[in-house]
Amino acid sequence: MSSTASTLSNLHHDSLYDKLRPIAEARMMLKQIGIDPFGTAMENILSPTEAIINGQHTILVGTNNYLGLTFDADALAAAHETLDALGTGTTGSRMANGSFTLHRRLEMDFAAFYGVRDCILFSTGYLANLGVLSALGSAQDVIVLDADCHASIYDGCKLGGAEVIRFRHNDPEDLDKRLRRLKSRARNAVIVVEGLYSMLGDVAPLAEIVAVKQRYGSCLVVDEAHSLGIYGATGRGVAQAQQCEDGVDFTVGTFSKSLGATGGFCVSQREELDLIRYASRPYIFTASPVPSVVASTRVTLQKLAAGKHLRANLFARAEQLHQGLLALGYQPAADVSPVIAINIKGRLNALNFWNKLLAAGAYCNLVLPPATPSGDPLLRISLSAAHNAEQIDAVLQMFADLYPDYAQACASASA
């Protein structure tokens, strides 16, 4: 018996594990067709845009490495130096073990970069959302969030126990309606949105959302995970680009995309931010960021701030790919941005398309329902400032060769 089949039969008799049965079935389906996008191994990383996968040279278009800084020589040097000086890890939380001076330095760097009072570092962006939202939204509070918000935002709401109300994605009028219904509670409601949405690559109408928030006197948290380094004159994100930063109470972000590392942060002008540190279980009860990562992030943050040329290159490549895909007959899910998503009808069609693209030499993300906002599977491409025009041309050629598969998936869905 195959291991998945034996897992299934074990599950059958055991009620505790029954809930894992749909996962086991989905895993078995992937095994049977011999395609496992969630087990892809990068055998070697050659650069921010190239890896060896299945023994083959592959162009990476699914990394979130938006500014291509993972091999930046200065960031590597800072990380190496700090690794030698301070060791491999902090081995505990800042509350218990104490902070490294470097943690506080990076917090001050982020605060200065955003021009605000303070910053708290978290060990990941996921934990930043958990920490901030659970501290702001306790059982008697209400959090009003965009329906397409990331899982970490939903999980942060759960951890705090607030009532959760969703408004229609990127729809300030619907947000307004939900706040109106809350009557006097709207004044203490926490609104949560993202800057650039990670799945479809669409941008929030943040200035309009800020205007709604200000009418009700609510609190606004913006997760700029995917927009940090990409939007705004100095890369602070969509709020900077739409000139509405003063209306944002808390900005959350991650080191794991444009900053090329792992970690999270929250910045704010509000005095209360420091108290969140003491009210946030995901800050208190987990090990603090690794010093070499903090050191490399201090460097990449500087490069990000001065990275106008990187943003220009990133958008040039995004434009090139977006226009090229449109010309081939594909329908990207949103306007031009560094995230380009293409819906492919049918799970099997999407798996096959993704697999053929990988075999042709390009790696992107395959996202399957229920993780997709539209309910259809999607191919998610994220671009990097480190991509060159030739790489994008090569990817477009692969999409051209695979167009019949896409057309067939569209046709079978509408039949």
Nearer to ligand PMP, 124 or 300 (CB): 124
Nearer to ligand PMP, 378 or 402 (CB): 378
Nearer to ligand PMP, 103 or 150 (CB): 150
Contacting ligand PMP (CB under 6 A), which of 62, 125, 291, 377? Answer: 125
Q: Is 256 in the site for ligand PMP (CB under 6 A)?
A: yes
Q: For residues 225-244, which are near ligand PMP according to CB under 6 A?
A: 225-226
Least CB distance from residue 393 to ligand PMP, whole Å?
28
What are the backbone angles phi and psi of residue 334, rounded to the nearest 5°? -145, 180
Least CB distance from residue 235 to ligand PMP, whole Å?
16
Where does residue 195 rank: exposed (0-12), middle (13-18), buried (19+ CB within 10 A)? buried
Q: How far, in Å, CA of 89 to CA of 265, rounded?
A: 18
Q: 137 in helix, strand or coil? A: coil
Q: Is 131 in the site for ligand PMP (CB under 6 A)?
A: no
Contacting ligand PMP (CB under 6 A), which of 254, 280, 296, 337? Answer: 254
Q: Which of these ranges, 41-49, 120-128, 361-369, 377-385, lies near ligand PMP under the rule CB under 6 A?
A: 120-128
H/E element, 410: helix 403-414
Decide: 126 and 152 in contact? Cβ < 8 Å.
Answer: yes
Give the tokens for residue 248.
């944002």
Least CB distance from residue 116 to ligand PMP, whole Å?
19
Least CB distance from residue 35 to ligand PMP, whole Å?
23
Q: Which of these ranges, 119-127, 162-170, 299-307, 406-414, lies near ligand PMP under the rule CB under 6 A?
A: 119-127
Q: Chain-centre distance of CA 388, in angstroms?
A: 23
Contacting ligand PMP (CB under 6 A), which of 131, 235, 264, 338? Answer: 264
Nearer to ligand PMP, 24 or 121 (CB): 121
Q: How far, in Å, CA of 110 to CA of 132, rounded?
A: 16
Q: Is 354 in the site for ligand PMP (CB under 6 A)?
A: no
Contacting ligand PMP (CB under 6 A), which of 150, 277, 298, 380? Answer: 150
Q: Which of these ranges, 118-126, 180-188, 204-212, 240-248, lies near ligand PMP under the rule CB under 6 A?
A: 118-126
H/E element, 207: helix 206-216
Where does residue 229 rank: exposed (0-12), middle (13-18), buried (19+ CB within 10 A)? buried
Q: Which of these ranges, 67-75, 123-131, 286-294, 390-398, lies near ligand PMP under the rule CB under 6 A?
A: 123-131
Give the tokens for residue 12.
């059958």
What is the total count of residues that contact ligand PMP (CB under 6 A)? 14
Nearer to ligand PMP, 11 or 128 (CB): 128
Task: Using alpha carbons, select from 261, 270, 273, 410 the residue that is nearest to residue 343.
Answer: 410
Contacting ligand PMP (CB under 6 A), which of 223, 245, 249, 376? Answer: 223
Three-state SS letters, 61-123: CECCCCCCCCCCHHHHHHHHHHHHHHCCCCCCCHHHHCCCHHHHHHHHHHHHHHCCCEEEEEC
Q: Is 198 in the site for ligand PMP (CB under 6 A)?
A: yes
Least CB distance from residue 39 to ligand PMP, whole Å?
19
Residue with tokens 């890896």: 51
Q: 277 in helix, strand or coil? A: helix
Q: How far, in Å, CA of 63 to CA of 384, rounded?
A: 8
Q: Which of these ranges, 22-30, 107-115, 223-231, 273-281, lies near ligand PMP under the rule CB under 6 A?
A: 223-231
Q: How far, in Å, CA of 222 to CA of 207, rounded?
A: 12
Decide: 399 and 327 in contact? Cβ < 8 Å.
Answer: no
Interface residues toward ligand PMP, by CB under 6 A:
124-126, 129, 150, 152, 194, 198, 223, 225-226, 254, 256, 264
